[in-house]
Amino acid sequence: MAPVVSTLRRQSHPFFSRAPFDITKTLPPVITPGSSYGQLMFESTLAFLDTKTGEDVNMKVKLQGYGSTATSLLEDKIYFLLGRVIALNAQTPPVFYFEQELTFPIADSEGYSISLANKAGCYGFGVVISKAEEKDDSSATSTFNNLLVKIRHTDYDVQTRNSVSLVVQYKVAGNRNLAKTFGLFQVGREVLISGYIAGYNIEQHMLQVNALSVSLSSGYSSSSAAVNAAEPSPVAGNRRRPI
């Protein structure tokens, strides 16, 4: 669900996600009398692995999207959804505002044995508000420090009809792939970061994300590269396999 047009005049840094969801409960929709379109709402869970026990943790979330009752999500079905996450740092379940056009059914809940934990990819712009290094104790053979970065995202909340901010903690691993990015994280700097949701800090009511990639949102760019880039030629037919 896209933000209201009037809010686009304000600076925003939405927290986007693509994830599988098991629909556990269908909530009453908000639909204008005489119309078949409106706000469709559901209950589901966001799954991630407990790093200490290795077991799945299912955190309650609410799903909301604008669409038709004829194409509504069904209870006890698993869907792959894309949308914006509003996870306020408070004792309230996160809300996932999904895009109805990009709903992809996966399977029935019953009999589905594949774990959905740590499959919630996320990405978005945000502003660094703090950072600190900590020793990584996940490996007995290698020693390095991870960088814990708190990033503030801002967005429009459809339910409250107000602009809101949410702080998310990102763990940037100090391994060979990401260690050189530590210097990019400066307090007050805007960054674009992607990863997957890997936990939740109960005391601070804050989502925890394992970062996979990061880049600055501004800097020098070259337009000549885009101009000189070869355009892909159209491929005839509707084959799904590459030719």
| Distance linking the first and last C-alpha atoms of the chain | 35
| DSSP states of the chain | -PPPGGGGGS--B--EEEEEEE--EEEEEEE-TT-SEEEEEEEEEEEEE-TTT--EEEEEEEEEEEEEGGG---TTEEEEEEEEEE--SSSS--EEEE-GGG-EEEEESTT--S--TT--EEEEEEEEEEEEEEE--S-SS---EEEEEEEEEEEEETTTTEEEEEEEEEEE--STTTGGGGGG--TT-EEEEEEEEEEEETTTTEEEEEEEEEEESSS---HHHHHHSPPPPP--S--SS--
- 205 sits in the region (left: phi over 0; alpha: psi -120 to 50; else beta) called left
HSE at residue 46, side-chain half, CA atoms within 13 A, is 26
pLDDT for the residue numbered 177: 83
pTM (two decimals): 0.83
Report, as an integer, the average pLDDT of 132-159: 87
Tens digits of residue pLDDT in 89-144: 999 999 999 999 999 999 999 999 999 999 999 999 999 999 999 988 776 666 88
Q: What is d(CA 115, CA 65) in angstroms, rounded to the nearest whole number?
A: 25
Output the six-digit token pair for 199.
């936990």
pLDDT for the residue numbered 136: 81
Q: With 90 as the cut, is the pLDDT of residue 159 above it?
A: no
Please name which of 171, 10, 20 lies closest in space to residue 83, comparing C-alpha atoms: 20
Report, as an integer, the average pLDDT of 139-158: 88
Q: What is d(CA 118, CA 65) in angstroms, rounded to the nearest whole number?
A: 23
Residue 85: other Cβ atoms inside 10 A: 25
pLDDT for the residue numbered 51: 85
pLDDT for the residue numbered 1: 52
Please name which of 38, 42, 99, 29 lies closest in space to residue 74, comparing C-alpha atoms: 42
Set out the domains of the chain in order of their start, with CATH numbers: 16-108 (2.40.50.140), 121-216 (2.40.50.140)
pLDDT for the residue numbered 220: 38
Q: With 50 as the cut, is the pLDDT of residue 227 above it?
A: no
pLDDT for the residue numbered 143: 80
Q: With 80 as the cut, is the pLDDT of residue 205 above it?
A: yes
What is the band of 230 on the pLDDT scale with cuts at 50, 70, 90?
Answer: very low
Beta pairing, strands 56-68 & 95-98:
parallel
